[in-house]
Copies of this chain bind each other. A is one copy, B any other.
Amino acid sequence: MNIVVWNEYRHEKINQDVARIYPEGIHNVIAEYLRKENMIVGTATLDEDEHGLTDELLDKTDVLIWWGHKAHDEVQDAIIEKVYQRVLNGMGLIVLHSGHFSKIFKKLMGTSCDLKWRQAGEMERLWVTNPSHPIAEGITEYIELEQEEMYGEFFDIPEPESIVFLSWFAGGEVFRSGCTYTRGKGKIFYFRPGHETYPTYHNGQIMKVIANAARWAYSPKGSKLIFGKTEPLNLY
């Protein structure tokens, strides 16, 4: 299983608070955890050539993990188109936190993906609402994060195939925080937590969810989908 963690990797370079939590970047913290789970993990970042997402890399990627925030617009449409085609052809995609506004997520959802938000360091509690879903494996009733950014409903997404987590926020909001989708042959998981100024990706439960999701989103590529003009199979 080949995983690639893509990170915008800008906050970490210019914001000391973020750099303190993720000195090597969010992508490397996630990659390291997944390697311990026996996955083969590469990374790619916005400021690399082709944002690091070369054909060579994408061709062998089973699951792509995406973290972006302030530079969604700088991601080239041509790269997004390549990622999009790969998802339809079976590459898994895990979209984290502010990736809800990434070009790739909006293109796959067909909605604005807009939401309410508040950056106030309040408590988030993620309740498991589909306890036997593979993504919730090993998670007990809920995950508690002492401090997170708030995301609140209405979250403008298509009705998820499954809602694995629902978040409670101290300030009074709720949020569909763990949502699964299929697009073409590709499996997609949106997972809410992970604001850059909090140590969310150092939380073992959060990382277990991401590892579970990577395993779930992986699918053997299988046979090629057949479209187009076709002869009748039965006489009439």
Taking Cβ atoms with an 8 Å cutoff, the residues of A that contact B are: 88, 90, 107-112, 114-118, 120, 122-123, 125, 127-132, 134, 136-138, 140-141, 150, 152-156, 158-159, 161-163, 166-174, 176, 181-187, 219-220, 222-223, 225-234, 236
Contact = CB atoms under 8 A, between A and B. Distances in A.
Contacts of A186: 132
Contact of A118 (B127, B156, B182, B229): B229
Nearest to A232: B171
Contact of A153 (B166, B170, B234): B166
Top 8 closest A-B pairs, CB basis?
A171-B232, A172-B233, A170-B236, A132-B185, A172-B234, A114-B227, A110-B110, A108-B110
30 contacts: A88-B111, A110-B183, A112-B227, A114-B228, A115-B227, A116-B226, A116-B227, A123-B234, A123-B236, A125-B172, A128-B153, A130-B159, A131-B185, A131-B225, A132-B187, A132-B222, A137-B222, A141-B223, A152-B230, A153-B166, A154-B225, A154-B227, A161-B161, A161-B162, A168-B168, A168-B169, A168-B172, A168-B173, A171-B232, A172-B233
